[in-house]
Structure 1
Amino acid sequence: MSVLLRLIVIWSMLCASAVAAPVRIKDLAEFDGVRGNDLVGYGLIVGLDGTGDSLRNAPYTEDILAGLLERLGVNVGDKELRSKNVAAVVVTAELPPFARSGSRIDVNVAAIGDAKSLLGGTLVLTPLKAADGNVYAVAQGSVIAGGASAQGEAARVVEGVPTAGAIPVGARVEREVAFELATIQNIRIALRTPDFTTAGQVEAVINRALRREVATTLDSGTVQVDFRALGRVNPAHVLGQIENLEVRPDNRARVVIDHKSGTIVMGDRVRISRVAVSQGNLTLRVQEAPEAVQPNPFAAGETVVVPRSSAELRDEPGIGFAEVSGDSSLTEVIAGLNALGVRPRDMIDILKSIHAAGALHADLVIE
């Protein structure tokens, strides 16, 4: 068995053991309303060592720099700004649930002009807005870029992505999202992977732990918890108890294929009906060997290039058919495909063909 196939088997067994193990509800689902909000802003980074935007090629950088200086009382008028130490960036952040005014959050920055690097730069005060157009945070601070670059007269070396970076706890929350958890009467639990079996288990384990019929399965991805059935309780305390309850999640059989890396991941529930597979190699080889022909001595003529081509079509001896018995497990599937001596990328084509034949009883996900 090849090294990659051994890794596939080991990875699949790890996935199988992970699926069978109990998992906390907080790791499987989200509570309706308890969510973050994405923030975005447009700002300016200063203090770069000559690696900023070329203002001639990025006029928006010049505009925001002029506006910043005017707000600080510096009248630039019609003066041309030619600084290479500034760069325009897009600033992004996530406002966590229940974030309060004054708390700090992390932000990310990414250049939008032709800046070479953001190393050593400082983000100037930048308001961050949500989808509703309101400002919820303000960012400012030193940028930690994610790479390095060095440039000489005739060469430039870049490692990582120096035009993007982060500012840990670089934004301060200025506006809170209105959500009063203490006043709600019910809450919905949304499973990240909808499944009726898993939803039923979540309902059962909640009702058993609270000793009341408070949880109801609404659909394959939603379980509703009614706090009114518990009397006068603090919803936060109840949710703290619920999110630590454990269930054994179920899911559909799935085969995930990554064409770029040739990676194949299969769950332990994958089954293949009885099928015969043959894998052969058809090789087409075309070679070009042009030949230069010289004219006879003292003859009036020109040297010409005469094409010389050879084509060969060879069908290498096939390995024959390998039979995979019906209701095969994951290990048997790997062993059956490995019996053909195929490479991982050939195995991808075989799995696609088996799925097209209706013999692969699993969802085929190709990335």
Structure 2
Amino acid sequence: MRKLIAMLLVAMLAVGVATPAIAAPAQVSTRIKDVAKVQGVRSNQLVGYGLVVGLAGTGDSDKSTFTVQSIVNMLKTFGVMINTSQLKPKNIAAVMVTATLPPFAKSGDAVDITVSSMGDAKSLQGGTLLQTPLRAANGQVYAVGQGPLSTGGFAVGAGGASQQKNFPTVGNIPSGAMVEREVPMPFTDKNNEKLTLTLNRPDFTTASRISEAIDQRFGQITTAKDPGTVLVNIPYYYSDNIVGFVASMEELAITPDSVARVVINERTGTVVIGSNVAIDEVAVAQGGLTIKIGRTTDVSQPPSFSDGRTVVTTETTVEAKEEPAGLIVLPASANVGDVVAALNAVGATPRDIISILQAIKAAGALHAELQIM
């Protein structure tokens, strides 16, 4: 126990020498365009239902009745009448097609689309998407998708054995959809006199700094309405060049602020700690219990020419070992990086560190938001 405590104290001293706990975190400047966006400038999601043809027997089975019905409806548009009972859609698959329409996309622009199987198709590899209308939430068609798929995977099988790589039932078509209709996207008021900035992460301090930076450059033209919104009056001398005004405004540098946060992923043992996280003085002890189960097999062989039989016996052993818990006293104002470095120096695992940080938070000594994924 004394040896472990001594190791912990040495580790804490070493960390204190290498990275002083009182050192202020570096202030990083960034552009306004990286922390905020102009309200009204947004992308739109599109979705459509279609058919993929040309599959080498890996399409939907006749159990997917919606696929059969879709094929019949499609063939009717070409003047072909067919009985559904005679249709075997092994080379065809019903799919959902999704796309993201970027802001200010013009008629004739091409966008990427994703194609996902709906039925029981085994693979979309080698297939071609037939012309598929893509609609927005308002039901209007804004793009049309068509073209050969790229799956990035495969699925093969024979004789009861099979092999699969990635997900062959999902594919992409780069530039596979053509924009047919533009989405109106006004980002100023009706008189082109005002616009609104929306912060990606609402914060009082960051909103205030954005307002101050713009006012220093263009005069008193802004109002920080709330932590996520900054109202901007467009200067009269930019009334004919609003794009130029927005470009100049977005290039202004500020120092964003953020809430002290520790993010923990218990599944992977990942810990991400913000630079402005601090703790109060607290004592920490962390022990461990290890259980080892072993099994040995002994064979008893009788002498030659005897009536005995060979006997196999199995012996199971269970061993439990509890590691002694060392006690660490962490001084006030130490940052969490120093704490983690000290725990690493004495062999604490990532999951030990996660448990310790959760306990420090429960004790009220960790002044940060603890986010568990």
Same fold (TM over 0.5): yes
Matches within 5 A, 1:238-317: 238-283=245-290, 314-316=321-323
From 193, 205, 219, the equivalent of 2:201 is 193
- Secondary structure at the counterpart of residue 21 of structure 1: coil
Q: Structure 1 residue 50 and structure 2 residue 62: aligned?
A: no
Cα distance, 1:174–1:50 mapped onto 2, change above 3 Å = same
Structure 1 stretches lacking a partner, 5+ long = 2-15, 290-306
- After superposition, the C-alpha distances for 1:162-185 in whole angstroms (9 at most, x for unaligned) are 111111111111122123457533
Shift of residue 147, structure 1, vs aligned partner: 1.3
User: What one-letter code is carried by the residue in structure 1 that aligns with 2:184?
Assistant: A
The verdict on how the C-alpha distance between 1:96 and 1:19 changes in structure 2, with shifts beyond 3 A counting, is farther
Q: Choose the corresponding residue for 1:81, options 83, 87, 99.
A: 87
Q: How far has the Cα of 1:255 moved from its partner?
A: 0.6
CA contact (8 A) 1:279 1:340 kept: no
Aligned in 2, Cα 1:17/1:62: closer, same or farther, shift over 3 Å?
A: farther
Which residue, out of 33, 41, 55, partners 1:26? 33
Describe how 1:97-112 pairs up with structure 2 within 5 A. Answer: 97-112=103-118
2:100 pairs with one of 94, 98, 101: 94
Aligned to 2:213: 205
What count of residue pairs does the alignment treat as equivalent?
336
Q: Distance in 2 between matches of 1:188 and 1:181?
A: 8
Q: Tell me the secondary structure at the aligned position of residue 166 of structure 2.
A: strand
Partner amino acid for 2:92? V
Matched, 1:59 2:65: yes
- One of 117, 142, 149 as aligned partner of 1:143: 149
| AA of the residue aligned to 1:278 | A
Contact 2:25 2:276 in 1 (8 A): no
**1:46 and 1:18, CA in 2 relative to 1: closer, same or farther beyond 3 A?**
farther
Tell me how far apart the structure 2 counterparts of residues 19 and 63 of structure 1 sit (CA, whole Å). 63
Q: Distance in 2 between matches of 1:50 and 1:87?
A: 10
Q: Secondary structure at the residue paired with 1:353?
A: helix
Q: Which residue of 1 aligns with 2:13?
A: none
Q: Does 1:124 align with 2:130?
A: yes
Indicate the SS of the match to 1:117. Answer: coil
Q: Which residue of 1 aligns with 2:306?
A: none
Distance in 1 (alpha carbons) for counterparts of 2:172 and 2:116: 9
Aligned-partner Cα distance in 2 for 1:206–1:334: 40
User: Per the alignment, do residues 363 and 19 of structure 1 end up closer, same or farther by CA in structure 2, a change over 3 Å counting?
Assistant: farther
C-alpha distance in 2 between matches for 1:24 and 1:164: 37
Distance 1:116 1:173, change over 3 A: same
The residue that corresponds to 1:338 in the other structure is 344
Give the distance between the partners of 1:282 and 1:209, measured in 2 at CA: 62
1:308, CA displacement in angstroms?
9.2
SS at match of 1:123: strand
Query: What is the CA-CA distance between 1:313 and the residue it aligns to?
Result: 5.3
Q: Deviation at 1:193?
A: 0.9
Equivalent of residue 333 in structure 2, options 327, 334, 348: 327
For 2:174, give the aligned amino acid: P
Long gaps (5+) in structure 2: 1-6, 8-22, 297-313
TM-score computed with the length of structure 2 as normaliser: 0.83
Q: 1:357 to 1:339 in 2, by over 3 A?
A: farther
- Contact preservation (8 Å) 2:32, 2:250: yes
Contact 1:272 1:333 in 2 (8 A): no
Deviation at 1:249? 1.0
Greater displacement, 97-106 / 181-190: 181-190
- The alignment's TM-score, normalised by the length of structure 1, stands at 0.84
Q: Contact 1:30/1:192 (CA < 8 Å) preserved in 2?
A: yes
Measure, in 2, the Cα distance between the counterparts of 1:32 and 1:58.
44
Contact 2:33 2:251 in 1 (8 A): yes
Q: 1:77 Cα deviation (Å)?
A: 3.7
Q: Deviations over 1:125-162 (max 9, x none)?
A: 11111111111111111111131222222211111111
Contact 1:322 1:339 in 2 (8 A): no
Alpha carbons 2:273, 2:337 under 8 Å: kept: no
Alpha-carbon distance in 1 for matches of 2:37, 2:24? 24
Counterpart code for 1:171:
A
In structure 2, give the amino acid aligned to 1:166. Answer: N
CA distance in 2, matches of 1:353, 1:154: 52
TM-aligned CA deviation for residue 23 of structure 1: 1.2
SS across alignment from 1:326: coil
Counterparts of 1:19 and 1:253 in 2: how far apart (Å)? 14
The whole-number CA distance in structure 2 between the counterparts of 1:20 and 1:123 is 50
Is 1:164 the equivalent of 2:175?
no
Q: Cα RMSD between the aligned structures?
A: 2.7
Tell me how far apart the structure 2 counterparts of residues 114 and 46 of structure 1 sit (CA, whole Å): 14
The 3-state SS of whatever aligns with 2:82 is coil
Q: Judge conservation of contact 1:205–1:247 (CA < 8 Å) in 2.
A: yes
**Which whole-Å CA distance do the structure 1 matches of 2:97 and 2:196 have between them?**
32
Conserved 8 A contact 2:266-2:372: yes
2:39–2:187 contact (8 Å) kept in structure 1: no
Structure 1 residue 243 displacement after superposition: 1.6
